[in-house]
Amino acid sequence: MKPRRLMMQAFGPYADKETIDFTVLKNHQLFLITGPTGSGKTTILDAMTFALYGTASGDLRENRSLRSDYASPKVKTEVQLVFTNQDRTYEVTRTPEQELVKQRGEGTRSVPAGACLVEIDDKGERTLLASSYGAVTREVEAILGFKAAQFRQLMVLPQGEFRRFLMADSKERRIILETLFKTQAYRKLEEALDARAKALKKDYEETAAKKTHLLEQAQTASLEELVQVLSENKRLLKEKEKEAAKANAVLKKATAALEGAKKQQVLFASYEAVCARRKALEKKEGSIESLKKKLKLLDEAQKLHAPYDRAWQSLNRARQAEALEKEAEKDHGRALLEVTARSQKAAGTNTALLQEEVARAREELARMRAVSGEMVRLAGSLEKGKPCPVCGSLTHPHPATQTQEEKARLQKEQHDLEEKIAALKKEQDALEKAQGALKKAAGSLETAKRSAREAHQALNQDKESFKKALEASSFPDQPAFLAAHHDLTQKEAMQEEVTRFEAQKASTEGELKILQNEIRGKEKPLLAPFEEKEKAARSYYEALATQRGALGERIAREEKERDALKSLEEKIAKLQDDYGPIGLLAATAKGQNSENLSFSAYVLQSILDAVLKAANLRLSSISEGRYTLYRREGIYDARKEQGLDLEILDAYTGQARSVHTLSGGESFFTSLSLALGLSDVLESYAGGLHLDTILVDEGFGSLDPETLDKAMNTLMDLQKGGRLVGIISHVAELKERIPAQLIVTGGVMGSHASFRV
C-alpha cells in the first residue's frame, strides 16, 4: 500500500481541511515527518489508520477524541485517503461519530459514523466497493491482506506499537504470522482432522443410540423380527384393496346416476328460464312495431333531406345577396354625396384667372429686379466731383439703393397665389378620386342587384323542387316532415334496438325449440333417492379406504424403520472402519507425538526461523555483530502456548536473555530489523503480501550517533528497493540527512502540514 493523497478536516490538531499530496515525493522514497512536539505528526499516521480501519494508530486514542478542539461546531470531522495497492487505486473516506450544530434550531445533533470506499481506474471511473462503516473495514482488510493490528505492527509503526511484534508472546505472534503468511490452512487442517475424528466417534455413538431407539419405537427386538411383521401386514393390505375395488365400482355407478339426475334437473330449469324470456319479449313486441313504423317515416324524411337542405341553403344565399345589395346602395349614396359636394366647391373658384394673376406678378417681380439691379450698379459707379448720369449732380449724398420693400411685397403676392393654385389642384384631385369611387360603387351596386336576382330565382326553383317532393311523400304537410326530420339523429339507436330485439327473439325461439326436443317424453326428477344411494356407497368406500390407508401407513412406517435399521447397521460398520486411520492422523497433527509439536506449529516455527534469519542480517549490521535473535526451544511454561517466543543472544556476554531486557534504543533497532525481516520473507513467499510502505513513529532519539547512522543506512537500503519509508522524528541530524520533509506546524488556530522536497 502506498499513500497518494491524505485529506484531514477537523481531525486532531488540524482545524481546517488539510491535504497532503504524497505524489510530490516523486523519486524520494525516504521522507521525514518533522515538527514541534504536539503539533500533529503522529496524527498523520492516526488519520491513515483511521481512514483504512476506523481506528487510530495508537491503543490509547479513541475515535470520539479524534475530533479537533479547534474546529467550528459546523465543520464535520472527516478523513480521506487515496492509495494504491498492486497497481490499483482506491479512495476511502471515513467520519467518526460526532456532535454537530443542528441545521435548524439551537443545540447540537449526534451524527453517526460513516464510511465509503471506491476504486478509481485509469480513466477516472469510480466504482463503489462499500458504503457502511463495517463493510469498508472488511473490504480494506481483504485488499491489504491484514487487519488493523497487523497494519500497525508492519506498516504503520507508531509510538507504543513499534515494539509489539518483538515483545509479543507465542499466541499473539502465531496470530500475526498466520494472518501475514496465510497459514491458517495448516491449523485448519489440524482442526479439521481433530474435528473429523471427534465427529466419527460422536457419529458412531449417536448411530448406535439411534438404532436402540428405533428398535424400541418399532416394538421389536431385531431387524429380522420386523421383516416378518411387515410381510403379514402386506398380505392383509391386498385383501382390503380387493374389497375397496368392488366398493368403488358401486360408488361410481351411484355417482353417475346422481349426476344424470342433476343434469336433467338443470335442463328443465333452463327450459323454464327460456319460456320466461319469450314471454318478456312478447310483451315488448308492441313497442317494437311502433318503432318500425317510425323508422319507415324516418327513411322518407331522409330521402327529403337533400331537396330540403338545398332549399334551406338557397334561402340563406338569397338573404346574404339582399344584405349585400343594401350595403352596395349605401356605398353608392355616400359616393354620390361626396362627388356633389366637391363639384360645388370647385365651381366657385376661377382657376384661369388665378393663373393669369400669378403670371402678371412674376413679370412685375422680374422687372423690379432688373431696375433695382441697374440702379445699384450706377450708384456704385458714382465718383465725387463727377456728374451723376441720371440727375447730373456733382455731389451724391444719397446714392440709390434697391427697393427691398417692393421686392418683398411682390414675392409674398406670388407665394399667396401659388398656394391658392396648389389648394385648388388638391380639390380637383379629390373630386376626381370621388368620381372614381362613385363609378366603382355604381358597378358594385349593379353586381349586387344581379346576384340578388339570381339568388331569388334559385330559391324559387329549390322551393318548388322541395314542394313537389313533399307532395309525393306520405307526409301530410311540412310540419309533419320537420317533426320526423328532427328525429333523424335517433334513427341509428332505434334501428339497433329493433335489430337487437329481432336477434333476441330468434335466439330465444331457437333455444326453446332445442330444449323442447331434449325434454320431450321426460319428467323433472327428484334428487333425494339418488343422493341417498350415492351417500351410502361413498360412506362404505371411504370406510374401506380409511382401513386400507391405516394399514398402508403402518406398512410404510415399518418399511421406513426396516430401511433405517439396515442403513444404521451399515453405517455403524463403516464408522468402525473409518475411525482407525483418521483418529491416528488427528492425534499426530494435534501434537500427540514424541516432539509434542503440532503440524501448524511446525510450519510457523519454520516461517519464524526464516524471518529471524532475514532480521539478523540487519540486526548484526546495526549492532556490529553483538545481537542475534533466535526462537526459544523446549517446554518452559506448560500453562500457555509456546514454540514462537523470542530470545536475544548477546555476543558480549555469550548469554541468551529475554527481548524484554533490551534498552529503548536496542529494542528500537531490533524491532526495526524484525519488521524488515518480516517484509523480506513475505515477499519471498509465493502469493505473500508485499509491504511497499513503512511509516516509523519516533524511536530515533534514543539512538547514539553511530547506531543512528547504521539505522539510517538500513532504511536507505530499504527505500532503494522501491519501498516508501516515512520517519516521524525531531532529531536534528535526520533533518540534515533527509531532503524530503513533511513539515508540521502548530498554532493557536490549529496545525498545518506541507511537503518540502
Answer yes or no: are the C-beta atoms of 98 and 40 closer than 8 Å: no
Instruction: Please give the pLDDT value at position 93.
Output: 98
Instruction: Please give the pLDDT value at position 371.
Output: 61
- What are the boundaries of each domain within the chain? 1-155+692-757
For residue 755, what pLDDT band results from cuts at 50, 70 and 90? very high
C-alpha–C-alpha distance, residues 608 and 646, integer Å: 10
C-alpha–C-alpha distance, residues 67 and 533, integer Å: 91
In sequence order, the β-bridge partners of residue 101 are 108
Q: Three cell numbers at 643?
A: 514454540
Q: Give the pLDDT mean for 554-561.
A: 87
Kindly report which listed range (87-96, 337-346, 380-389) carries the lowest average pLDDT score.
Answer: 380-389
C-alpha–C-alpha distance, residues 563 and 560, integer Å: 5
Q: Give the pLDDT mean for 264-289.
A: 81
Q: Give the pLDDT mean for 6-27.
A: 93
* DSSP SS3 for 69: coil
Note the pTM of the prediction, 2 decimals.
0.47
For 1-155+692-757, CATH gives 3.40.50.300
Closest CA to 82 of 118, 132, 53, 115: 118
Instruction: Please give the pLDDT value at position 21.
Output: 96
Instruction: Please give the pLDDT value at position 427.
Output: 72
Instruction: Please give the pLDDT value at position 126.
Output: 96
Kindly report which listed range (171-175, 286-290, 296-300, 561-565) carries the lowest average pLDDT score.
Answer: 296-300
Share of the chain above pLDDT 70, in %: 82
| pLDDT for residue 559 is more than 80 | yes
In sequence order, the β-bridge partners of residue 19 are 7
Instruction: Please give the pLDDT value at position 721.
Output: 66
Q: ∠ at Cα 676 (32, 85), nearest 5°?
A: 75
Instruction: Give the contacts of 122 (CB within 8 A, at least 6 positions apart).
Output: none
For residue 71, what pLDDT band results from cuts at 50, 70 and 90? confident
Locus of grid cell 503468511: 181
Share of the chain above pLDDT 90, in %: 18
Angle, helices 664-684/705-720, rounded to nearest 10 degrees: 20
C-alpha–C-alpha distance, residues 714 and 677, integer Å: 12
426 or 167: which leads in pLDDT: 167
Instruction: Please give the pLDDT value at position 315.
Output: 75
Among left, alpha and beta (phi > 0; psi -120 to 50; other), residue 521 is: left
Locus of grid cell 481541511: 17
C-alpha–C-alpha distance, residues 139 and 115, integer Å: 11
Kindly report which listed range (401-415, 506-520, 696-710, 735-749) carries the lowest average pLDDT score.
Answer: 401-415
Q: Give the pLDDT mean for 366-377.
A: 64
Kindly report which listed range (228-242, 337-351, 507-521) carries the lowest average pLDDT score.
Answer: 337-351
What average pLDDT does the structure give for the chain? 81
At 626, phi and psi to the nearest 5?
-75, -45
Kindly report which listed range (182-186, 492-496, 509-513) carries the lowest average pLDDT score.
Answer: 492-496
For residue 60, what pLDDT band results from cuts at 50, 70 and 90? very low
Q: Give the pLDDT mean for 341-350.
A: 66
Instruction: Please give the pLDDT value at position 686.
Output: 46
Instruction: Please give the pLDDT value at position 116.
Output: 98
678 or 543: which leads in pLDDT: 543
Answer yes or no: are the C-beta atoms of 206 and 581 closer than 8 Å: no
Q: Give the pLDDT mean for 458-469.
A: 71
Q: pLDDT, tens digit, for every residue of 612-647?
A: 999 999 899 888 899 999 998 876 666 667 788 899
Q: Give the pLDDT mean for 113-140.
A: 96
Q: Give the pLDDT mean for 314-333.
A: 80
Instruction: Please give the pLDDT value at position 91.
Output: 98
For residue 81, what pLDDT band results from cuts at 50, 70 and 90? very high
Q: List own/partner pairs for 419-425 with CB under 8 A and 24 or more apart.
A: 420/354, 421/351, 421/354, 421/355, 421/358, 424/346, 424/349, 424/351, 424/354
Ranked by mean pLDDT, which of 134-138, 561-565, 566-570 comes out on top?
134-138
402 or 305: which leads in pLDDT: 305
